[in-house]
Structure 1
Amino acid sequence: MAITFETSGSAVAPARPTFREAVKVWAKIGCLSFGGPAGQIALMHRELVEERHWIGEQRFLHALNYCMLLPGPEAQQLATYIGWLMHRTAGGLVAGLLFVLPGAVVMLALSILYALYRHVPLIDAAFLGVKAAVLAVVVEALLRISRRALKNRLMVGIAGLAFLAIYVLHVPFPLIILAAGLAGWVGSRAAPELFQSAGHGGAKADTHGVVDQMFERGELAHAEPSLRRAAGIIAVWLPLWLGPVVALWLAFGSGSVWTQIGSFFSLMAVVTFGGAYAVLAYVAQAAVDGFGWLAPGEMLDGLGLAETTPGPLVMVLQFVGFLAAYRAPGVLNPMLAGCLGAVLTLWVTFVPCFFWIFLGAPYVEALRGNRALGAALSAITAAVVGVILNLALWFAIHVVFRQVVSVDWYGIGPDLPVLSSMDWQAAALSAMAMIAMFRFRLGMLPTLAACGLAGMLLSMWG
């Protein structure tokens, strides 16, 4: 995601904001963070760099570069990073939590409504339209990321191999990421010019911010690397993250839905390089084909709901965790189990985000300019394009066709649609969504709303 900002010129930084002032601003950002990571980062830039001058342009982009190296939602981690710089751990916690909580509350409410009213015919028809729009959104993301990542034929080849590996050979997503990173690391020595990482645009003018003045006055001692501090962070945050997962495994065993949710989404927190669209292909296939938590169309429904809420798109995982526990509640009330499943999913998804920032941010300067690391990330980004292509194709055949067969050639083979089972309404709505977004440049939210309404109208007319 190449993001370039322009500023009108340098400005004198105001006084350091109080903690209460910062809380108000982070709450505002959390409630308005629609539009995916690009829109969320642009919102933070306007609020924090241009309007309030809390952080300078170059330092903002430096923090963004670091967050792009991490697994997980980069916009949420960027908010955590800046909050941590200004008000230490408490500031980072508040910034990161307020970026997530508004969307989490909305997503939980939508998940409950979905579980209760999913099979009402008119609601079902609306979700048919939403699925079609989501397909267009995923294709748009594929085109956007491929333009940034596929700079030469080698990167195209890596993307193609990643697509074949996950679509035909069913290679696990984490192994694809690991192999791509290793290829980039080796390639940085053999042909470094082919693995140049896609950087972020720089600013034409630097804005001297509050954080920059704090640095000059020596008030950022907590941002200096310290092995003792790092050991303390590991001792606190690793048990916070993995302790509940281990406790659930000891209490209920490996076959429990609670253990499955905790362990699976903990793994996702480690391998979600490349943004939510990259990991969703793996999550969708695991949740549908592996664990049986969802039907194929329901994953699309969840993605459509996540697109309409503030906060990171990865919030769709909360929807998956809710339905998984709702449908296997054990002795609990299904609705209570679903809510607990959503909370557990949020916990193991976002606690690692704080862990990466608090542990690694003081060492950002050591990572900057590392060519081998940049080459590995370039290869990973190219592989992510192939993974997102798999996601788009997987969604397309499950939206447009009612029947899908799995080809099995000695344990490998792709999923193929049954051509005679084409859903012409879904195909027409998908085409309409594509035209709206690509030809008329209609935004994501208007396209989702228009397709949902069109699905309802088609249902009433039919």
Structure 2
Amino acid sequence: MEKTANYSLKDLIVYYLKLGTWGFGGPVALVGYMYRDLVENKKWITEDDYKEGLALSQLAPGPLAAQLAIYIGFVHHRILGATLAGIAFVLPSFLMVLGIGYAYVTYGGLPWMQAVFYGVGAAVIGIIAIGSYKLTTKSIGKDKVLWMIFVTLAIVTFATEQELLSLILLAGCIMWFVKAPPKWLSSANVILPTVIAQIPTITTESKLWQLAWFFTKAGAFVFGSGLAIVPFLYGGVVGEHHWLNEQQFLDAVAVAMITPGPVVITVGFIGYLVAGVGGAVVAAAATFIPCYLFTIIPAPYFKKYGKHPAIKAFVDGVTAAAIGAIAGAVLVLAKRTLTDIPTMVIAVSSALVLFKFKKLQEPLVIVVAAVLAIVIKVLLH
């Protein structure tokens, strides 16, 4: 019998509104915050429920943090909870990028953004490094096979600069065979999401329709979440459709990094630049609806069969692989962001301060880093 929730749906909505407003650092940090807040501190969600949600979010295409939020909403409050949790998580950052988009168009670019991003980007590395460390130590434990999977995925992700779904699935299968070997292969109860084959492009002159179709494909066919969607967006937005130029696209990615909530919300900024408020709404909805469906449709099966030894072993393997990929992604981001001594100092200082002062809020670290960055840039010029 399922344990009764010790929190209300309203409590969960308020939590996700706050996380969407103050949660800096992209998917790596956000999944870490959810673990810290909902599993460790509030104890609203069990460790097993969190692991199942993280595994499903990693297996399905679309933004990792948003899918985990949707799954956690589903755990005790089913489809209504999943829907409202997802909306509450995405809405604050969407409204922020709308405001920034308006300022960007009205005042002709964001020259101050590079200075802010210089410091914020470095602080974010420190924040996600601590989040990744906590997630690793709590989720993997002392299991040697899980540690081998974790290390392998971290190295491969760092070397290739992309998350390989095939290795994540293989990790699940390895743990399944190690921990709960099947008597025969056909008896496996593992249910995996499958990706629908690419549908032929529908020809239409409407820009909003073109936006809807392009961003639906971005949400439905891009694995890895967060910054993994950026190369796909670049190819379509700059290369194929020529909606934005190079600088506008880089500014869009910077907006995603300096605003809280899911990194994928950059689609709202892009949509705004292409077709105003209507474009922003269409781009965001088209990106997030596929990930919502990819979460709530398999979720009941994960809930129903998640305690089966074979599925639990598979989920453990996928979770270790996912956390390894996240650790590798931290290193990739660090390599790109920490380009000089000031950024390295800001990143290390951020990590040490958060490690030392457990209750310190991340937004305060972000604000201090942004101010320091502006001061550094003024002094250097």
Query: Same fold, TM exceeding 0.5?
Result: yes
Q: Tell me by how many angstroms 1:288 deviates.
A: 6.0
Residues 111-150 of structure 1 correspond to what in structure 2 (within 5 A)?
112=101, 115-116=104-105, 119-147=109-137, 148-149=139-140
Residues 31 and 367 (structure 1 numbering): CA distance in 2 closer, same or farther, change over 3 Å?
A: closer
Residues 237-276 of structure 1 correspond to what in structure 2 (within 5 A)?
249-251=201-203, 259-268=213-222
Residues 371 and 300 (structure 1 numbering): CA distance in 2 closer, same or farther, change over 3 Å?
A: farther
Cross-structure match for 1:384: 322
- Whole-angstrom distance in 1 between the partners of 2:50 and 2:82: 18
Matched-pair contact (CA < 8 Å) for 1:135–1:395:
yes
Cross-structure match for 1:206: none
Cross-structure match for 1:453: 371
- Whole-angstrom distance in 2 between the partners of 1:379 and 1:44: 22
- Whole-angstrom distance in 1 between the partners of 2:291 and 2:89: 11
- Whole-angstrom distance in 2 between the partners of 1:134 and 1:163: 19
Q: Tell me by how many angstroms 1:102 deviates.
A: 3.4
Cross-structure match for 1:187: 178
Cross-structure match for 2:289: 347
Q: Tell me by how many angstroms 1:257 deviates.
A: 6.5
Matched-pair contact (CA < 8 Å) for 1:142–1:389:
yes
Q: Give SS of 1:251's match.
A: coil
Cross-structure match for 1:234: none
Matched-pair contact (CA < 8 Å) for 1:429–1:455:
no
Residues 31-430 of structure 1 correspond to what in structure 2 (within 5 A)?
31-33=17-19, 36-37=30-31, 66-71=52-57, 72=64, 73-84=67-78, 91-92=80-81, 95-100=84-89, 102-109=91-98, 112=101, 115-116=104-105, 119-147=109-137, 148-149=139-140, 151-169=142-160, 173-189=164-180, 249-251=201-203, 259-268=213-222, 279-280=225-226, 282-284=228-230, 287=233, 299=253, 301-306=255-260, 313=261, 315-319=262-266, 321-325=267-271, 329=274, 333=275, 336-357=278-299, 360=300, 364-368=303-307, 370-401=308-339, 423-430=340-347
Q: Tell me by how many angstroms 1:460 deviates.
A: 2.6
Matched-pair contact (CA < 8 Å) for 2:175–2:317:
yes
- Whole-angstrom distance in 1 between the partners of 2:227 and 2:141: 20
Deviations 1:97-116 (A, max 9, x none): 55335335434335525754
- Whole-angstrom distance in 2 between the partners of 1:264 and 1:296: 18
Matched-pair contact (CA < 8 Å) for 2:74–2:82:
yes
Deviations 1:232-256 (A, max 9, x none): xxxxxx9xx98xx95x832369xx7
Identity %: 12
Structure with larger Rg = 1
- Which region of structure 1 is more displaced relative to structure 2, 287-296 or 30-39? 287-296
Unaligned stretches of 5+ residues in structure 1: 1-10, 50-56, 192-237, 273-278, 307-312, 402-422
Matched-pair contact (CA < 8 Å) for 1:118–1:124:
no
Q: Tell me by how many angstroms 1:450 deviates.
A: 0.9
Matched-pair contact (CA < 8 Å) for 1:77–1:354:
yes
Deviations 1:331-380 (A, max 9, x none): xx4665444322321222323333334xx16x734432x12212222222
Q: TM-score, normalised by structure 1?
A: 0.58
Q: Tell me by how many angstroms 1:64 deviates.
A: 5.1
Matched-pair contact (CA < 8 Å) for 2:157–2:329:
no
Cross-structure match for 2:350: 433
Residues 173 and 265 (structure 1 numbering): CA distance in 2 closer, same or farther, change over 3 Å?
A: farther
CA RMSD of aligned residues (A): 4.4
Q: Tell me by how many angstroms 1:458 deviates.
A: 1.7
- Whole-angstrom distance in 1 between the partners of 2:15 and 2:163: 35
Matched-pair contact (CA < 8 Å) for 1:127–1:452:
yes
Q: Tell me by how many angstroms 1:134 deviates.
A: 0.9
Matched-pair contact (CA < 8 Å) for 2:119–2:370:
yes
Q: Tell me by how many angstroms 1:23 deviates.
A: 7.4
Q: Give SS of 2:201's match.
A: helix
Q: TM-score, normalised by structure 2?
A: 0.69
Q: Tell me by how many angstroms 1:187 deviates.
A: 1.9
- Whole-angstrom distance in 1 between the partners of 2:99 and 2:291: 19
- Whole-angstrom distance in 1 between the partners of 2:160 and 2:228: 13
- Which region of structure 1 is more displaced relative to structure 2, 140-149 or 166-175? 166-175
Letter matched to residue 364 of structure 2: P
Q: Tell me by how many angstroms 1:447 deviates.
A: 0.8
Unaligned stretches of 5+ residues in structure 2: 24-29, 58-63, 183-193, 239-243
- Greater RCO, 1 or 2 (C-alpha within 8 Å, sep 6+): 2
